[in-house]
Structure 1
């Protein structure tokens, strides 16, 4: 039994009132802002004082039993589940107060999600726009004015908890309304606001949760960290003078805790091996065991599994399963040996002498028909199907060919003994001795002992060949840090062609409001501890994530025009946000990007930025101190800079040719071979941009025109008698002046068509880049916008769409299109979604042609061989018809790739294509962003 079991709650002098909690804590914290600091130096200092005063008053006037009150103060950590989200709550309020559909209040509440983005553009109250409890309480206040309610009731904390317990049990909307309506009718408006906050389980203390715990008792944060139970924490820690020992503040069976996490690789293999094989002093007994096993200078390597991190607790015959996020999955995997998708197979997994044990590992889904571990997304369904199967005698679930499989890689506790402070090699030795593997149900994750960089290279070849996640390199003497990242556990993953490396964890430091909010992120400089602006992200957020960010940062934003950020904290480049925030008050985002911009630019203070990026998730488990730093980013960028700088150099050269045509020297004299263009003057403004990657430069176009008799000029003569043709395929500053003068802007393709036909081809919309005479040119195409004489391929589809726009929309469309192109950190134009990306499709059939057409329509290229491609796509139809044949082809391809891996400076330099399902292409197009291929892996 744990020392936390059967702890009796202390008694209070009197029952605390809900109004007291609202007035003295919630409202005071919410009202702390820069405008009313008083004698406090910062907002944080004022909030600290509010919490201290509240707890001091509570102890003096109420007593030591604060747990019932803590359930309201920590709604996100309380175990009640109301199953009421913001939209549901808003519509319940509509029903409760019979708000008519034609009213503004109805529109605000009933269409809460859909109306936000539109409404945000027209309101000055943007800080509170996402705060549903605040806005709903205002609406309720207005409704009360029309129908005054005389009944008021002052609820105690116990009464409020009782009402919320009833709401927890209510499942139907009518039951929920029956509980909520009397409450909302009898509470004050501030009390209603915070009640709605509690029901939505939104954090009220936000960044001050640990501080509240520490003020109550110095050991409270540490105890809550290892038990994650408010009741046990507050009921046990009453006397501030009584302190806990180290054994108390460690893991205990059945009590959930956040597992240890690993770091990502930021160094080459040689440096990694040096750090991982370094021996540190140990206890004498451990030292003898270490020497006897000949482990000096060695390290562990384990495969990084694609599953759900899970911690297994066993106490007697009872089991508990907790995820990395502390969610209890015991109902799914089993609470005893009699029933459960996993535990019913574990009766022989542990020796009889093992009474209590805590194991850390990865829960995966095992397909027993294909003998493979399935992707992460199939795990829950496998467990559910396995659980259901045991209740039925019919074969309706027989088609389910997978079940949960727990792979153990660490042991943290056994029979009352804490093992987190013992070295890893000792913990591994215990695992080997006490675990009886149950094949494909519960096994030890294989650990390979290595000693050189070549060992890591061999492991990486195997990872690529088997299309695995990567490996985790572990120091043999490493201890276990609960809820923290251990620098002695390092994950090493192969890098894929469309990834510049690991996803980056960045701190939000600025905001640009708009139809879609854009968040500016920064990197911290290790030298001066200043955050430098780095990129802006607007894609990848769900409405819930927008809400969460705005809720966490509520009242923390400062208008840039009103107050400049302190230079010792933040540094922005040319691009400034409309609002900035202090990093300590901000959030951490996990950002995925397609590429790094290695050019020297001043848009962001870091000097480079990311392209085609989106937010994968909000990292609530990370602080700003865990984020990527400038030095770490430079190490990542260095691996790509050679190729990117080479590419940039070429682009820069082209840019000179394209934009500086006035100063450019005329090409050498060209021999005229035809008089085809002899009646025209040509102004050549840009290169010819070909979709297949071949580019004809502006200088080459000039030579071509002169070769066919055309005259090259840099200006348009008003009094000239010859017709002037302006050729361009890029929007340049000069284009607008020609366009405004009524001169047609013609694509280079017109030149090629004329040369091919040995005749001057009439201008059609297909050839026009821009013109005020579109009405005339549109008469030269059919009702579908196709040319009568020119064959138009799939490649020209988007161009035709451009040309079919009404004349009055052409300029607007082009401007919006160019804004999209320039905003590489935000929405990328859909037509260029797969620009410069090569795909290889594994199989051959009619479905492949449709898939290829979709890829090419959005700017991608499908190639015949897998060498040089970014994505290897398995067509869904082929997979369904002949999996064995497809799987053999994929295995042959990945084996070939692994054999050709190259390592330079003791690190893998080969970029590897991702093997994905057809769904990857489909969902990228649907969301208009290059998604993470890890979510669509083919297995």
Structure 2
């Protein structure tokens, strides 16, 4: 038997096994009586007619003879009705010629809904490279270049027309060198089999082999639709709802609760058999399509009125819109799983993320579930939660953008105890509890069930808060807050509403700041680059790279060099007229971007040689136009030359009254940011397109700068000293939790304790930069990366510790991780040495609250009984760590020992005899070390609890005999160990209790 026969036999056996498994899982699934239709039938009778149905055809004699199902002429039907007719005819043909199992066809008709086939892992660029190899054309030829640079308009009429439409560009090039001109003979089932192989192929050689086979067996039009199926970009003019509705009246309902195209096709193959009521609800461990929030379209009053408010119940809810990934969590008790609970996670698009967040409480690869041991109330056996997976940065004490989510989850997977970034699941709904579907209950009832079912886990697993409101003024106040905090926006919810699967409804409405009349920042920026679009924007510049003017470039009228730093990318808000206007004013002035010779004399990008956000074309600033751009806020970014960028920018209008020299400059932008907090306080928000006039204040408040006042200096009543003598400080923000101090108070505290203040980081050498929030200045310093930024809590800790140690010389505390807002790599190692492995400071007295939190964290992480005494709990934790190979902390070295330090007289030494040089400090220092390390120190030799007696290095033998005689005379007292001071010193140095026998006095 040759290899090919063996391979065929193996494939046949595997296929048979798969069929057997499917029959077992779906015993009532339909079976076709014939082979599937040829692949070309799909686009000849379905895809192309659906595309043609978008526009109403010209009425002709021939079209009048084509009569629809109800006896109407197709020419007189609406475009929607014509699409239904096309779909009905295709389904009827399938049932007649193939059978009731339409799943093979639906997998190709709706490829983006097929969750059973894995992602191919290839996009336009990869397909283009492979087609160049398959057709054996030079990548530098015109066709090769057009294929690899598919967004650019081509040189010929056809390729220029296909710019931005990758599949159409491929068709243009394939048509010049087809392997066959007539349609091929591949059946739909053959195409599915090959696509399954393509999705499982992990190497480019395997993918190339499969694509080559398609090229040999298909003509250019078949390949065009095949590429659209692979990219899951069909664009046939009919949604899945229309297809589902024609297939079965309950198809959309079943897809909403299951997200399974296979179930829709197999369980609803007979349109006369309806879905039973008990099967219309969501199921545990079965992904569903979540409810979505409606877009804001009307005034705030109209929005609120559509949420079902009444005089008896005028309340609606306001939630912050989170910048994360929508996620559903399924949990059920399962004794076969370690930890007793099984988890599944799915995204909004039904992607399974269980591998990332964990399938059980003891999943070693679970970034989240291993922290949920105490997250569920007693009696909760199963539930389904709806929420948002976001990123929490413990170092910055703030949420991070959505783009960092997967990286944070991977970090949390590999680092159980300490991770600067971690995934946080914010829950806002519960849909299933202990076998009961809750979607028909009101949101208010579901939230009550959620509160009773969940025990939040701080910064891992939390219930998303909401506030009740009754009028639009409360919405305005909340919008003002999210603008200040650079958040996504708001979601308004009707607490009387049920949960609506796979639907956008007025019960949930999102309000984003950039859609409001007076919210956000409006800036005049210069267009310096352009990006080609795709789809209906294909073949032309669809989005623009905008920059800020470098101040020196326009400092004088004679300046010829125009230079800009990249600042933001804008692609939303343009109309066709706006694009035409921009083209009119810049026509003939655009140049292709050459990565090997970037135009650095005119434009600077971020990333150096990496050239972040590199445009397809660029234009000199003096030849360009100025755009007025609006955004919800400004946020840090490393993708642009200016270290800050606009969040959700949208085009407002073209500023033809301005040239590049009058557009916003880098320095003007920095100056503007300095006053942004004051502007927000003075700015009145109008959310109804200026329908409500501004209320004029009786007296205008004077403009103030944080930390300073024109009338009086901030008074300070805190402690004074010399702890900061000789130090220079640059304080950028106030202090947040746990000790709130204004910027002015912090500055006065530093001055009262000997420090000097500056308003820039480079005004004096070795300046200490202080910040607790990511302001423009702080973000700029962090972007440079050459200077650490310290939190204000360090200032407060230094002053507090020196108050505790009153009478001792003033001493600066070493920096700890909790003191750092941003740490340079060179500083990280030094900072880490100031605390032990339990985060306990070596140099600072912790507060009662810190100690309580430390004990609580230790007990939780190490499964210690919280009912035991704190000392016993802490002892168990430390012992467990030491048994696991951890180094014993110095604070526990002499725990449970009682030490006695005899005086020189008690050791038999003449008190008037001078001590050896440098030895007078040894016993007092050893005594202090022992006390720090947990020992009890007594002052009388008759104390019955003494375990060790610590003497000088070389005490007289007569003194040792006298001490032993004293204890042996007391029958009730156990004779303690007598050791020299070296035992304390060496044990401290080695961080372990050494054998006393080595340190007996001679």
Give TM-score, length-normalised by structure 2: 0.49
Q: Is the 8 A contact 1:613 1:826 kept in 2?
A: no
Q: Does residue 441 in structure 1 map to residue 460 in structure 2?
A: yes
Match of 2:35 among 7, 10, 15: 15
Corresponding residue SS for 2:413: helix
Partners of 1:259 and 1:482 within 8 A in 2: yes
Residue 365 of structure 1 is aligned with which of 361, 384, 391? 391
| Structural RMSD (CA) | 5.4
Q: Which residue number in structure 2 is paired with residue 261 of structure 1? A: 292
Question: Structure 1 residues 109 and 321 mapped into 2: Cα distance closer, same or farther (>3 Å)?
Answer: same
Whole-angstrom CA distance in 1 between matches of 2:320 and 2:651: 35
Where does residue 130 of structure 2 map in the other structure? 92
1:76 is matched with which residue: 109, 112, 116? 112
Relative distance call for 1:249 and 1:886 in structure 2 (3 A) is farther
- Structure 1: unaligned runs, 5 residues or longer: 282-295, 391-397, 505-536, 555-577, 579-586, 595-611, 619-626, 628-811, 838-853, 875-880, 897-912, 924-937
Aligned to 2:190: 159
Per the TM alignment, residue 864 of structure 1 is displaced from its structure 2 partner at its CA by: 6.5
In structure 2, the residue matched to 1:191 is 222
Residue 328 (structure 1) aligns with: 352
Retained in 2: the 8 A contact 1:247–1:418?
no
Distance 1:426 1:502, change over 3 A: farther
Q: Distance in 2 between matches of 1:78 and 1:873?
A: 58
SS class of match (2:271): coil
Cα distance in 2, alignment partners of residues 824 and 426 from structure 1: 42
Does residue 239 of the first structure (1) align with residue 260 of the second (2)?
no
Distance 1:64 1:173 in 2: 37
Q: 1:62 aligns with which of 76, 88, 98?
A: 98
Q: Structure 1 residue 73: deviation in Å?
A: 1.3
Match of 1:343 in 2: 369
> 2 CA distance for matches of 1:92 and 1:420?
48
**What are the within-5 Å matches in structure 2 for residues 699-714 of structure 1?**
none
**Alignment correspondent of 1:139:** 173
Secondary structure in 2 matching 1:408: strand
Task: Tell whether 2:331 aligns with 1:314.
Answer: yes
Greater RCO structure (CA 8 Å; 6+ sep) = 1
The match for 1:380 among 406, 424, 430 is 406
Is the Cα contact below 8 Å between 1:382 and 1:403 reproduced in 2? Answer: yes
What are the superposed Cα offsets for residues 669-723 of structure 1, whole Å, 9 maximum, x if unpaired?
xxxxxxxxxxxxxxxxxxxxxxxxxxxxxxxxxxxxxxxxxxxxxxxxxxxxxxx
Q: Indicate the residue corresponding to 1:750 in structure 2.
A: none
Once the two structures are TM-superposed, the CA of residue 464 in structure 1 deviates from its matched residue by 6.6
User: TM-score of the superposition, structure 1-length normalised?
Assistant: 0.52
User: Does residue 400 in structure 1 map to residue 419 in structure 2?
Assistant: yes
* Distance in 1 of aligned mates of 2:361 and 2:58: 60
Whether the 8 Å contact between 1:460 and 1:494 is mirrored in structure 2 is yes
Contact in 1 for aligned 2:293/2:506 (Cα 8 Å): yes
2:445 is paired with a residue whose SS is helix
Higher Cα radius of gyration: 2
Is the contact between residue 570 and residue 651 of structure 2 (CA under 8 Å) also seen in structure 1? Answer: no
Q: Which residue of 2 aligns with 1:723?
A: none
Query: C-alpha separation between the residues in 2 aligned to 1:346 and 1:205?
Result: 45
Change (3 A) 1:859 1:444: closer
Q: Offset at 1:305? A: 3.5
- 1:837-859 Cα distance to aligned partner (Å, 9 max, x none): 7xxxxxxxxxxxxxxxx613789
Distance 1:349 1:827, change over 3 A: same
The aligned counterpart of 1:888 is 734
Seen in structure 2, the aligned counterparts of structure 1 residues 244 and 130 have a Cα distance that, compared at 3 Å, is: same
Pairwise CA distance, 1:224: 1.6
Q: Provide the C-alpha distance between the structure 2 equivalents of 1:172 and 1:882, rounded to a whole number of angstroms.
A: 58
Q: Distance in 1 between matches of 2:474 and 2:410?
A: 39
In 1, the alpha carbon distance for the partners of 2:130 and 2:652 equals 39
Give unpaired runs (5+ residues) of structure 2.
1-23, 65-74, 334-340, 549-567, 576-618, 630-649, 684-703, 707-726, 744-772, 784-820, 823-1002
Residues of 2 paired with 1:820 and 1:502: CA distance?
16
State the match for 2:149 in structure 1. 111
What is the match of residue 426 of structure 1? Answer: 445
How many angstroms does 1:327 deviate by?
3.2
**Is contact 2:626–2:658 with CA below 8 Å preserved after alignment?**
no
- For residues 189-588 of structure 1, the aligned pairs below 5 Å read 189-263=220-294, 278-279=309-310, 296-316=313-333, 317-339=341-363, 340-351=366-377, 353-389=379-415, 400-450=419-469, 469=488, 471-491=490-510, 500-501=518-519, 546-549=533-536
Q: Deviations over 1:428-456 (max 9, x none)?
A: 11112211222322122234445577766
The CA distance in 1 between the partners of 2:625 and 2:40, in whole Å, is: 56
Which has the higher mean CA deviation after the structures are superposed, 39-48 or 333-342?
Answer: 39-48
Does the 8 Å contact 1:73/1:205 carry over to 2?
Answer: no
- Residues 491 and 509 in structure 2, CA contact (< 8 A), matched pair in contact too: yes
Distance 2:265 2:780 in 1: 48
- Per the TM alignment, residue 383 of structure 1 is displaced from its structure 2 partner at its CA by 0.9
Deviation, 1:137, is 3.7
Question: Distance between the aligned counterparts of 2:735 and 2:269, measured in 1?
Answer: 65
- How far, CA to CA, are the matches of 1:616 and 1:399 in structure 2? 40
8 Å CA contact 1:834–1:860 kept in 2: the answer is no
The whole-number CA distance in structure 1 between the counterparts of 2:394 and 2:381 is 31
Query: Counterpart in 2 of 1:856?
Result: 667
CA shift at 1:234, angstroms?
0.6
How far residue 166 of structure 1 moved from its aligned partner, in angstroms, is 0.8
SS of the equivalent of 1:112 reads: coil
For the structure 1 residues 817 and 614, does the alpha-carbon distance in structure 2 shift closer, same or farther, using more than 3 Å as the test? closer
Deviations 1:326-357 (CA, angstroms, capped at 9, x unpaired): 43322221222222111122233224643332
C-alpha contact 1:366 1:440 (8 A) present in aligned 2: yes
Q: In the TM superposition, what is the alpha-carbon distance from 1:389 to its structure 2 partner?
A: 2.8
Does structure 2 conserve the Cα–Cα contact (< 8 Å) formed by 1:539 and 1:613? no
Distance 1:503 1:322 in 2: 36
Encode CA deviations 1:530-554: one digit per residue, 9 max, x unaligned: xxxxxxx9999965xx324459xx9
C-alpha distance in 2, partners of 1:873/1:163?
67
Shift of the 454–217 alpha-carbon distance from structure 1 to 2, 3 Å rule, reads closer
Alpha-carbon distance in structure 1 between the residues aligned to 2:672 and 2:396: 32
* TM-aligned CA distance change 1:484 to 1:835, over 3 Å: farther
Cα pair distance change 1:344/1:617, threshold 3 Å: farther
Please list the CA deviations of residues 158-204 of structure 1 after superposition, one character each: whole Å capped at 9, or x if unmatched.
22211111111112222111112122112233322222222222225
The structure-2 alpha-carbon separation of the partners of 1:333 and 1:483, relative to structure 1 and needing over 3 Å to count, comes to same
DSSP 3-state at the match of 1:888: coil
2:202 aligns to what?
171
Note the 1:37-52 alignment, pairs <5 A.
38-39=63-64, 40-41=75-76, 44-52=80-88
1:571 maps to: none
Size of the aligned set, in residue pairs, is 579
Partners of 2:216 and 2:274 lie apart in 1 by 45
Q: 1:218 to 1:85 in 2, by over 3 A?
A: same
Matches within 5 A, 1:723-742: none
Match of 1:901 in 2: none
Contact 1:259 1:324 in 2 (8 A): yes
Residue 217 of structure 1, CA deviation:
0.9
Take 1:102 and 1:465, find their aligned partners in 2: how far apart are those partners? 51
SS in 1 for 2:128: helix
